[in-house]
Amino acid sequence: MTALDARTDRTTVLRFPAGFRWGTATAAYQIEGAAAEDGRTPSIWDTFSRTPGKVRNGDTGDIAADHYHRVDEDVALMGRLGVTDYRFSVAWPRVQPTGRGPAVRKGLDFYRRLADRLLDAGIRPVVTLYHWDLPQELEDAGGWPERETAYRFAEYAGIMADALGDRVATWTTLNEPWCAAFLGYGNGVHAPGRTSDVAALRAAHHLNLAHGLGARALRGALPGAAEVSLTLNLHAVRAGSGSAGDVDAARRIDAVGNRLFLDPVFHGRLPEDLVRDTAAVTDWAFVRDGDLAAVAAPIDSLGINYYAPSVVAAGSSESPSPWAGAERHVRFEPVPGPRTAMDWPVDADGLHGLLVRLRDELPGVPLVITENGAAYDDYTDPSGRVKDPERVAYLRAHLTAVHRALADGADVRGYFLWSLLDNFEWAYGYSKRFGIVHVDFASQRRTLKDSARWYAEVIARGGLADGPVRDGR
């Protein structure tokens, strides 16, 4: 058997294409731990999590899921699940502690070892170079609002390509640059915790530039068959009504949440309406000649992270807001229906809508769901089992939406479930559990949840079966 407790005696009603990539995903700061070992220096998240009041319960990623010391165990779990791909991120300060200069050998060796273990298990490693853990020394020099950080990222990308290019065929430059820019520098709920509209917009542009320069550095060092991509958390935004004010509110959120990244990357331009919306904040003089051409470096696929949609109406948002140029014009409305432990609405139609939109707006660009999942209040029952039927229902609904998008002509190549392990959930600390593997953080014991067994069965079949999975298998 290639998957845990796989059962093939039921009818598959929604089969995915041959070669569809079934994966799971994690991020370095959320799982690795070993925060001060083997030359690793602080990232902005190490600093932020030690700032009183920033992270729930004062939690940090110092130990997290201790993946740094448990690679073999965690890769074995993936092998039991039968995943074809594993998307992980590299901790920039683990391999280039100051964000400049030569790499640390032990840091590179950790990722070489991880990639080798994956390949030995028949699992393709998928590398994300930046999942928010900027070396603190670069933040001290100005961080993402300064263009120098983009050049430092390109250097780092070249280092990683040289180190892992013989093992890794799929590379992602950035994960969710919107979050890095607007949650980190706009409303300050993420590291580094700054609150400035102009800093957020500058950061967004320099993250775009880092992507373009990083993609060029990867192309220069990797074999020709390697894939280069970018992952965006595109916002499935809907107007609360057909009124002009509500429609304009949706346009504003789409501009700063989606088109600020899509337009430069795929069309080499800034959204003209966003420039107008933010005229009172900045004149965009930080965008220099040649920047947008660099940002538009060709990529092989676009990663999509999706969790929930948003409904907006004319109004105003709380300050500080992550919506530069929109906060005085937009109010977020409640979305009806069930909600996750993050208080996010469950609505798979938003994912289908995004995929169909990208089918129409970016013809010829392959799409990959690089994150999709849900947090629930999981626990181990007296029998040692972790029952999470809500997560199974969430995943089933969203995979059904992906299948429907495929039938509607969207070129979706794979699905990476977030997340493999319960982990450090950013400002929520350890209070939210997204994993399909339960982690007891005191003992570091791993327990497969029912959703893991269900996902293994989906992978083994290559699709969704009729009816629920019996006893979580």
Residues designated catalytic: 176, 371
* Residue 14 β-bridge partners: 464
Name the token pair of 49.
């999590």
* Residue 130 β-bridge partners: 174
Q: Are strands 237-239 and 310-314 parallel, antiparallel or unpaired?
A: parallel
Shortest CA distance to 49 belongs to which of 144, 190, 188?
Answer: 190
Taken in order 163, 168, 169, 170, the sign of the CA dihedral is negative
By the 8 A CB rule, do 227 and 169 touch? Answer: yes
CA distance 172 to 205: 18
Phi/psi at 175 (nearest 5 deg)? -110, 120
Name the token pair of 362.
């970016």
How many other C-beta atoms lie within 10 A of the C-beta of residue 411? 18
By the 8 A CB rule, do 200 and 181 touch? Answer: yes
How many other C-beta atoms lie within 10 A of the C-beta of residue 141? 15
CA distance 265 to 297: 7
Residue type, 285: A
Place of tokens 């327990």: 447
CA distance 74 to 114: 10
CA 411 to chain centre: 20
Phi/psi at 394 (nearest 5 deg)? -60, -50
* Residue 463 β-bridge partners: 15
CA 12 to chain centre: 29
* Angle of helix 105-120 versus helix 148-164 axis, rounded to 10: 50
By the 8 A CB rule, do 324 and 278 touch? Answer: yes
Residue 292: CB partners within 8 Å, gap ≥ 6? 264, 268, 269, 270
